Amino acid sequence: MKNYKEARRFVNVRMKKSLLIAIAIGTLLFVMVVSNDDLRRIVPFMSQVEAPDISCYDVTKIYTKHVELPDFETPTSDRNIFFHETSCFNDDQGLLKVRQACAVESAALMNPSTIVYLLFVSWSKFTNTSRNFVQQLSTYDNIKIRHIVIDDYLRNTPLAEWYASGVLKRSQWPKSHISDILRYLTLWKYGGIYLDLDVVVTSSLENLLNFAGAEDREDVAAGVIGFSPTGLGHKLADECLRDLQSNFRGDVWGHNGPGVITRTLKKLCGTRYTKDMTSRKCHGFKVFPPSAFYPIHYKKWRKYFETKDANATMKILQKAKAIHVWNKLSESRSIKVGSKVPYAIIAEKYCPKIYRSAEGADVAISN
């Protein structure tokens, strides 16, 4: 009996060791497959793999005759800001969320000489609340809300055949990754400024040409990017499209957005760290420090929505050109109009029409 117990104990120990070794090997393989940069980008979002309806990505123009929005036309202005909404909605369920509308209004308000485009992929008509936000935005002469058909938008571009291969449909984050694709493609086609729909603009961007903002010491973020339509800007946009084609990863959330601009600028500037990406090293391209567009790190996103230390947070935000509120993490956080949290204070000042409209509709400010 004693020998049996000892043998059993020996087997259990061996099994535990084998399990630990297997876990260690699996972890090592994961780290080897996913680079350190990619690992840092994906960790906050690993539990948020998308499973969205992307049927509207395949809709052709013949099926979109009842679209509520006008079709997008080639810009005639040399000053343009672009937002993209890449969600697909059911009939009569088209959404423009209040934070998104705030982002668009802030861009138009702070850049009156720039045309601000909000481009929808979905053909669905808006809900009544969203239509109210659209109407408020339409009171600005420099806002154009338009619809695009993805196949048409990609036609005769470097990504047309690549996209047609179905690579996006195999992505774990198709809605996020089509947004990555469209931002670089739009800047390649027209130049201008791309902004995420969770960015509130708090100063003029009209004198900025080729620029982006660092998120931290190693990453350049993709939420605010400006490329000129010719010269350096177009060259960089072309490099970004090439990087997308060569390095697209459907299994890594941030590989195709911030990853693309970070890799492209590291090559251009010949540096590893964002603090070393000076205009001289980057041939005239400006990489702003995190304080310009990402003054609150994503790990501290709650500061935007808390009254605790609000005065200290506002002092940080006052130095920014725009703020990014990390909707991927904060979308469930609602605030009431009249709240004294930093985001509400910023929204009241920089998107006043949408802010008042949300109050009138008794809508909590959430994404």
Alpha carbon distances (Å) from 299 to 34, 44, 50, 199, 335: 21, 8, 21, 17, 19
Best CA proximity match to 85, nearest among 168, 222, 198: 198
Identify the H or E element spanning 128: helix 128-137
Phi and psi torsions of 275, nearest 5°: -65, -20
Alpha carbon distances (Å) from 143 to 114, 119, 298, 344: 9, 11, 29, 23
pLDDT number for residue 277: 99
pLDDT number for residue 248: 80
Q: Is residue 121 part of a domain?
A: yes
Domain CATH number, residue 246: 3.90.550
pLDDT number for residue 46: 43
- Spatial separation of the C-alpha atoms in residues 115 and 78, rounded to whole Å: 9
pLDDT number for residue 249: 81
Same domain, 143 and 248: yes
pLDDT number for residue 253: 63
Same domain, 217 and 132: yes
Same domain, 20 and 71: no
The residue segments making up the domain with residue 83 are 55-360
- Six token digits for residue 130: 């969203």
Q: Is residue 190 part of a domain?
A: yes
> What are the per-10-residue average pLDDT scores of the chain (367 residues)?
48 52 49 44 48 80 67 95 95 91 99 99 92 97 97 95 90 89 97 98 98 97 98 98 88 75 97 98 98 97 96 98 95 90 97 90 54
Q: Is residue 267 part of a domain?
A: yes
- Spatial separation of the C-alpha atoms in residues 273 and 66, rounded to whole Å: 49
How many domains would you assign to the chain?
2
Same domain, 146 and 9: no
Same domain, 216 and 85: yes
Same domain, 302 and 184: yes
Same domain, 92 and 20: no
Same domain, 230 and 154: yes
Helix axis angle, 352-360 to 98-110, nearest 10°: 150
- Spatial separation of the C-alpha atoms in residues 327 and 99, rounded to whole Å: 9
Contacts 24+ apart (CB under 8 A), 22-27: none
- Six token digits for residue 88: 């697909």
- In sign, the C-alpha dihedral spanning 327, 329, 332, 334 is negative
- In sign, the C-alpha dihedral spanning 169, 174, 175, 181 is negative
Same domain, 28 and 59: no
pLDDT number for residue 364: 53
Q: Is residue 180 part of a domain?
A: yes
Q: Is residue 365 part of a domain?
A: no
pTM of the model: 0.85
